[in-house]
Amino acid sequence: MLPRIILLAAGMLLLTQLAESYSSRCRTGWSSYRHNCYLVIKDRQSWTGAQVVCEMLNANLATITSSSENSAVARMVKSAGAYDAWVGLNDFAKEGSFHGIKSSSRASYTCWKSGQPNNFGGNQNCAALYSNMFWHDDNCSLSKMFVCEY
């Protein structure tokens, strides 16, 4: 009887440890959501500068591909105290056709604020996520907080 109880206890301990390693698989300070890890960087950068910083952290500007991911990242942006934050969407290649950092095809999921993207002034080619979870295109040279993802 005793060995069985010990085995059971050992099994539960193993499960607990597995659960812990799963929930903390992101590097220290990064937040996990589903299969990815995110960090809102409060040091304001241009969109290009932001991507450089993310790359130095072995990450990229966040590419958001679902409404649940969008809500999760928006919560992170809000808790960082950001009004808005750069994410990894741009329309450099073709005006009005926004795609992610690593994709050449148009993003299938978007959450633009009503009236956006509007390419205001003919010079808004980078996307930022408001803490209320809607997106807008803005001038890429503006300095904003940003979200890295890996």
Q: Measuring CA to CA, which residue among 144, 131, 148 is closest to residue 27? A: 148
Selected from 50, 91, 99, 133, the binder of Ca ion by CB under 5 A is 91
Selected from 67, 119, 132, 139, the binder of Ca ion by CB under 5 A is 119
Selected from 51, 60, 63, 125, the binder of Ca ion by CB under 5 A is 125
Using alpha carbons only, what angle is made at residue 65 by residues 127 and 108, rounded to the nearest 5 degrees?
Answer: 80
| Cβ–Cβ < 8 Å for 98, 135 | no
Q: Which stretch binds Ca ion (CB under 5 A): 10-18, 49-57, 67-75, 133-141?
A: 133-141
* Per CB under 5 A, 120 contacts Ca ion: yes
Min CB(36)–Ca ion separation in Å: 26
Spatial separation of the C-alpha atoms in residues 143 and 148, rounded to whole Å: 15
β-sheet bridge partners, residue 36: 33
| Cβ–Cβ < 8 Å for 135, 91 | no
Q: In terms of CB distance, is 60 or 116 closer to Ca ion?
A: 116
* Per CB under 5 A, 136 contacts Ca ion: yes
* Per CB under 5 A, 109 contacts Ca ion: no
